[in-house]
Amino acid sequence: MTTSTSAGGIPRRNTWASRFDFLLACVGFGIGFGNVWRFPFLCYKNGGGAFLIPYLICVVVGGIPLFFLEVALGQFMSQGGVNAWLIVPLFQGVGFACTVIVFLVNCYYNVILAWALFYLFASFTSELPWDSCDNSWNTYNCTKVRNSNLTGINTTLVNGTEQPYKAIDPTTEYWENKVLAISDGIDQPGTIKWDLMLCLLLAWSLVYFCIWKGIKASGKVMYFTATAPYFFMFILLIRGCTLEGAKNGILYYLVPDFARMQDVGVWVDAGTQIFFSYAISLGALTALGSYNKFNHDSYRDSVLFASFNSGTSILAGFVIFSVLGYMAEKLGTSIDDVAESGPGLAFIAYPAAVARMPVAPLWSVLFFMMLVLLGLDSQFVGVESLLTPFMDAFPKLREKGKREGFIAVVCIIQFLIGLSMVTNGGMYVFQLFDYYTASRIILLIAFCECVGISYFYGINRFYDNLEMMFGYRISPWMKVSWLLLSPVYCISMFVMSSINYRELTYTRPSGVYVYPDWAVSIGWFLASLSTICIPVLAIYHCMKFTKAGRVTIRMSFPQFDQLVGLFAAFRRSEANGAERASITTPR
């Protein structure tokens, strides 16, 4: 990456030293926890290999076009998520909305990294702590299934009382009682879990020292954090495929059920998964693109990124389900009984399967090291994308010493917010953030992005800008997507996900916890923090409809002058007609 100093002594914006740096940054940020624990489960749940059909359609219609739109916008404007939208001032609120979302996501995403670090450290032992029921956190219901047996004797029961007994796997108890020490509800926050808090502090420290010197330093770190997970993934894949029962797990994952494609929910899952794995509507892609040289071919990189991202998701499914097949074989049960989604897959199902493998600690270390690296590069790119709009608005923050101090303040603030998620009731807070801050809201923001560029800035105008950057005319498919397909895709996903809205719950061994109304209200407040930026900024720019305001409207709608001209001509003709009428009409 190259850097220079302006006449005033303020460092200018950096640019990537090579195309490979930019591509690695995109891969590092976009490929994260969702590729490992969300996509494989969705594929298995929604018809196996048949799910790939709606998924790949959504990649072509929404994933690649929206990814490229955000990157190209940042590259053309050479600005981060907020200032880049000065290209269409009426839609500058989109940039602010993305910044709010990435701030909130950073607060809870690093908590997942803290969990992974906790498990990683716990794996450095001769026997995994979640493999037995002989620990202080275990309860009477803890049952290690592979060691359980029932022997019948010749007994006649005359009278007795039945006492219900619910067996709980030691891995579940380790997660619930040891790692989370979870309370009975969000209204019982309890105290901070200091061991988990130290892991969170370590996670934020790693993020800080990866980015404190700028993306020049973080780019070097990315060469390891973005590529090493593939090394671990291939090792785990080879080991998983050699296990007994692995074939059954992979078949459950891939065997197509084409009848499921008639289910609208399958298409909604495919569409929303694209947003999770392609990191759309977070402002990060615009920030990453802004560090490209003006003539960098980001169109080609967008297609390459899509191949990497989707390929990694499919590969992760083989890694996960080969081991789950082994676990089901050992327990004598079906894949349905062991497959989970979300944190439950990474911190309960997979560790439980690993614990039953020979040399279990080794495979556990490899798996959680992979998770740590996947989360780390996603997190520090997310923080960098949050910093970029501030650095653009206040260039003096780029000066040596000021940048480091500002980054420290931002990290500390997000760390303090994250402390609420490492208490006894922290999991409930985590779920609240995850469910409301970056789910269906990002679909609405992506819709606004398409409308702003295509219909207000002008799709032909933007295409001319891209041709000026790349030196060639890109595929007309992008124009069709931005004008029609992507907006319809985004708003359809938003409407269908809103129709299918379900109250927030958390499932525990003791039952299903339903969030109280006041907690749900907080969730909707978090969601509104981002979306409110769009109309507020639009109203602000409309209120500036003075002479300066007319310039703002003209920039937002290039056909504005034509409309003003037509309106003026209409008024003149109307006035002339009235004048002629006054002359010819008798008094």
Q: Is 28 annotated as a binding residue?
A: yes
DSSP 31-72: SSHHHHHTHHHHHHHTTGGGGHHHHHHHIIIIIHHHHHHHHH
Rounded CA separation 281/385 (Å): 12
Residue 513: partners with Cβ closer than 8 Å, 6 or more residues away: 184, 185, 428, 505, 506, 507
Q: Is 81 annotated as a binding residue?
A: no
Residue with tokens 């039952």: 511
519 class by beta-carbon count within 10 Å (0-12 exposed, 13-18 middle, 19+ buried): middle
Closest by CA to 326, choosing from 231, 236, 229, is 236
Helix axes 194-211, 92-122, angle to 10 degrees: 120
Counts of helices then strands in the chain (DSSP H, E): 27, 2
Rounded CA separation 64/277 (Å): 12
DSSP 414-454: HHHHHGGGSBTTHHHHHHHHHHHSSSTHHHHHHHHHHHIII
The H or E element spanning position 528 is helix 517-531
Backbone φ and ψ of 150, nearest 5°: -130, 120
Rounded CA separation 55/545 (Å): 44
Longest Cα–Cα distance in the chain: 121
Q: Is 35 annotated as a binding residue?
A: yes
Provide the token pair at 418: 């994250």
Q: Which residues of 312-336 are buried (b: 16+ CB within 10 A; e: fewer)?
A: bbbbbbbbbbbbbbbbbbbbeeebe
Which alpha helices (DSSP H) does 126-278 contain, by range? Answer: 170-173, 194-211, 215-225, 228-241, 246-254, 264-278
Rounded CA separation 278/63 (Å): 7
Rounded CA separation 73/79 (Å): 9
Between the alpha carbon of residue 486 and those of residues 57, 202, 301, 489, the distances in Å are 11, 40, 19, 5
Contact 268, 50 (CB under 8 A): no
Residue 349 DSSP symbol: I
Closest by CA to 62, choosing from 256, 273, 236, is 273
Residue 63: partners with Cβ closer than 8 Å, 6 or more residues away: 274, 278, 280, 306
Binding-site sequence positions = 28, 35, 277, 309, 374, 377-378
Binding-site sequence positions for Na(+) = 28, 35, 277, 309, 374, 377-378
